[in-house]
Amino acid sequence: MFSEQLFDLILDFGEEWKVERVYLNSKTEEVDVFIEFIGKTAEHPVTFEPCSIYDHAPLRRWRHLDTMQFKTYINCSVPRIKDKEGKVLTIRTPWADNFERHTYLFEKVAIAILQSTKNQTKTAELLRCGFNVVNRIVHNSVERGLKRRPKNHIFEHLSIDEKSFKKGHKYITVISDPISGIVVDVAQNRDYTSCEQAIKGAIQKEHRAAVKTVTMDMWKPFLNAVKDLLPRSDIIHDRFHLVKYLNDAIDKVRRREVRKHDELRNTKYIFLKNPENQTEKQRIKFESISGTNYEVSRAWQVKENFRDIFGCNTLNEAFSLVFQWVGHALRTNIKEITRVVDTFKNHLSGIINAMVNTFSNAMAERLNGKIQEIKACGRGYRRFKNFRNAILFFHGGLSLYPLN
């Protein structure tokens, strides 16, 4: 049978706390450990001044780590003190927060399992507790981690991207650090207000002037929010999204021309793939088409010329090469390409910055994949708060563990 001395030794709550008795229920496979306070005075929970014991709160029960295969619970009537102002306050316990129903050690193990499974339901099953317990731990640890995040930390580079939240064109705005790969903050929707909210929540006003670059696509609400709140930062349009505009235009040209030229059937991915990624069969098919005067071939060459501009040494060089590319693209007289060029001309500064800077939304895109994994494991999220905290829990780079 478990002894009081054994639990006194392994729990080690301090000299003022003693295991009074241990009750084992073999039918429910539960162990209840009853703790009593044997000190004459106790610390004030806020000022930590010594105070005399006033009375004891009703008996409470906290879930602790399992003993063998038995669920283990800590039970205690926690002492209360009366301060100088006459307020009666419950003292702090060394094993748990006063507002929780589980111990610090239980919470630490729950966080560790969550980090491994990335699934709250599975974690609850492994810990043999309710889903709400695990969900509360996620929310509490994120709140704790955000408070611990240094207020004076300066993010010199940011990425802003969107991610689908629910069906029906519901999105979230994700701000991340392209250097460390952590999610800085998440806001609901993808409009000006949501981007503004995320920037204000993540970066103190006095540190916003230190942001050097912001990588994003050409979504107007994001652009306006960055220009208003981070006016000293250079906007860099993500190269992935820029090339995607051209890829979409190429596919539209192909779909238009395939009605007249049967040889263009089943060539969609031949033109969307980079040449180095083509299979041997695709390469042969591509070479037979690229030598023709089809508009899709010329549109593809426009895209390849654009890709070659990335990696310029100076802004002047990038400016000159982009203008040369614009002239060549317009001379093709392909309406789909012309539309893309007109769009690029309206965002020239961000595109030229993309040609010189190495920053892109590549890290943000990888984070999007990881966020999708969280979403899939959770089988979707109905509430934004749950989704946001799950993202920050796994990818916010936060200090999550309780410190007792």
CATH of the domain at 204: 3.30.420.10
The pLDDT of residue 392: 95
Question: 218 CB contacts (<8 Å, ≥6 apart)?
Answer: 237, 241, 343, 347, 350
The pLDDT of residue 262: 65
Count up the domains in the chain and report the number: 4
**Residues 177 and 207 placed together within one structural domain of the fold:** yes
On whether residue 401 sits in a domain, the answer given is no
Expressed as residue numbers, the domain containing 115 is 102-148
**Residues 27 and 125 placed together within one structural domain of the fold:** no
Say yes or no to pLDDT of 314 above 70. yes
**Residues 246 and 230 placed together within one structural domain of the fold:** no
Over residues 112-162, the pLDDT tens digits come to 999 999 899 999 999 999 999 999 999 999 999 999 988 888 888 999 988
Q: Are 240 and 210 in contact (CB under 8 A)?
A: no
**Residues 83 and 220 placed together within one structural domain of the fold:** no
**Residues 143 and 70 placed together within one structural domain of the fold:** no
Q: Two tokens at 312?
A: 């310029």
Over residues 29-47, the pLDDT tens digits come to 999 999 999 988 888 888 8
Beta bridge partners of 183: 176
End-of-domain residue from the set 84, 100, 116: 100
**Residues 261 and 232 placed together within one structural domain of the fold:** no
The pLDDT of residue 259: 76
Say yes or no to pLDDT of 297 above 90. no
On whether residue 403 sits in a domain, the answer given is no
Say yes or no to pLDDT of 334 above 70. yes
**Residues 278 and 333 placed together within one structural domain of the fold:** yes
End-of-domain residue from the set 129, 148, 167: 148
Q: Are 173 and 189 in contact (CB under 8 A)?
A: yes
**Residues 164 and 234 placed together within one structural domain of the fold:** yes
Rg over alpha carbons for the chain, rounded to the nearest Å, is: 30
On whether residue 400 sits in a domain, the answer given is no
**Residues 226 and 288 placed together within one structural domain of the fold:** no
Distance between CA atoms of 96 and 404, rounded to whole angstroms?
A: 8
Distance between CA atoms of 33 and 351, rounded to whole angstroms?
A: 65
**Residues 142 and 59 placed together within one structural domain of the fold:** no
On whether residue 374 sits in a domain, the answer given is yes
Beta bridge partners of 36: 18
The pLDDT of residue 403: 77
Residue type, 253: V
On whether residue 182 sits in a domain, the answer given is yes
The pLDDT of residue 2: 63
The pLDDT of residue 263: 66
On whether residue 404 sits in a domain, the answer given is no
The pLDDT of residue 311: 85
On whether residue 402 sits in a domain, the answer given is no
The pLDDT of residue 86: 83
Over residues 245-272, the pLDDT tens digits come to 998 998 888 888 777 766 666 666 566 6
Distance between CA atoms of 134 and 295, rounded to whole angstroms?
A: 57
| pTM score of the predicted model | 0.84
**Residues 21 and 110 placed together within one structural domain of the fold:** no
On whether residue 36 sits in a domain, the answer given is yes
The pLDDT of residue 280: 67
Question: 313 CB contacts (<8 Å, ≥6 apart)?
Answer: 356
**Residues 177 and 250 placed together within one structural domain of the fold:** no
pLDDT bucket at 391, cuts 50 / 70 / 90: very high
Average pLDDT, the chain: 87
